[in-house]
A = this chain, B = another copy of it.
Amino acid sequence: MTHAQPLVEVWRGGRLESCHAGHAVIWGEGGVVESWGNPDAIIFPRSSCKMIQALPLLESGAADAAGLTDRQLALACASHQGAALHVEATGRWLAGLGLGESDLRCGAHEPYDRDERNRLIRADEAPCQLHNNCSGKHCGFVTWTKHMKAGPEYVDPDHPLQRAIRQATEEVCGETVAGFGIDGCSAPNFATSLAGLARAMQAFAAAQDSGDARARAMVRLRNAMATHPEMVAGEGRACTELMRAMGGRVAIKTGAEAVFVAMIPDRKLGLALKIADGGTRAAEAAVVALLVRLGALDAAHPMAQKRLPAVQRNWRGLETGELRLAAGFA
């Protein structure tokens, strides 16, 4: 994380308490428009690249063969919180394919959604793989696998699906991937430069329906995310609340370890950022700052203000501090 620059500060009692450094790149039609930190930093995009991982699903014809809706495509790009609507949608998706929860390879974890979490606890029921925040992506994966008659171990880095995702990643980022890591959901996650990821987001933002199969896939995924924000994350979450605040004009996506990307079709701009220390609160504040800077988000919108200045209150509701932008950023 060489040359990360301070991006977001955490203040308490009129004093700097903590500070987050990182990297950010805005990519336009002519290349890098603006950058902070090191645009060449190699990162793991983590879940921020789910729309790239979904390209083979559309380009292969698998999505159309299965009759996938835009709502399902939004779920394929989601890090959802395992609320009832996400669990029901992924369960129905698998049933429609003649498959079941056990065909997924993402593992199970307690849902982030509080209502569904409490329901499971009251029913003394264990969470299942449908609750995994990546289960929508994995539904997309098994849709591809079934259509292509490929083997069931679709998270193996040598599986034809992962080879197709690697190739798509390299094409849209305009670079050879720098290896891969295993993600929380067991899928390979290909390392890219932050600039490469921003370039890919610009391609998604600028894609037109009159273009080739890839361009049409990009338009469909970008629009699916922006118009079904409740499927991409969930109530209370940054992706959902900020996409709603931007009225369906912009698609954004977070990834673990504080990655955030955005696609802004109106301006044919893409952006990508990574907080070096992996602090999510800073990634959310930083993406708000950049979306405001680019005229895509109203700084005064409550969903923006929730992340920046993100006034901090304690258990008795007393104001204790706030997040601020570091000097020299956005």
Contacts and interface: CB of A to CB of B under 8 A. Distances in A.
A314 B19 contact: no
A17 B186 contact: no
A108 B43 CA distance: 39
A107 B314 contact: yes
26 contacts: A10-B278, A12-B182, A13-B179, A13-B180, A13-B182, A14-B181, A15-B191, A17-B44, A17-B181, A18-B257, A18-B276, A18-B278, A19-B277, A21-B21, A21-B277, A107-B315, A109-B315, A121-B121, A121-B122, A132-B315, A181-B320, A184-B320, A185-B314, A185-B315, A186-B314, A186-B315
Contact of A181 (B15, B21, B106): B15
Nearest to A106: B315
For chain A, give the interface size range: 35 or more
Contact of A278 (B185, B257, B279): B279
Describe A's contact surface by its main secondary structure: loop
B183 A17 contact: no
Contacts of A52: none
A126 interface: no
Contacts of A316: 105-107, 186
Contacts of A318: 182, 186
Given A184-B314, A278-B10, A179 B15 contact: yes
A256 to B, nearest CB: 9
Contact of A276 (B19, B106, B183): B19
A189 interface: yes
A150 interface: no
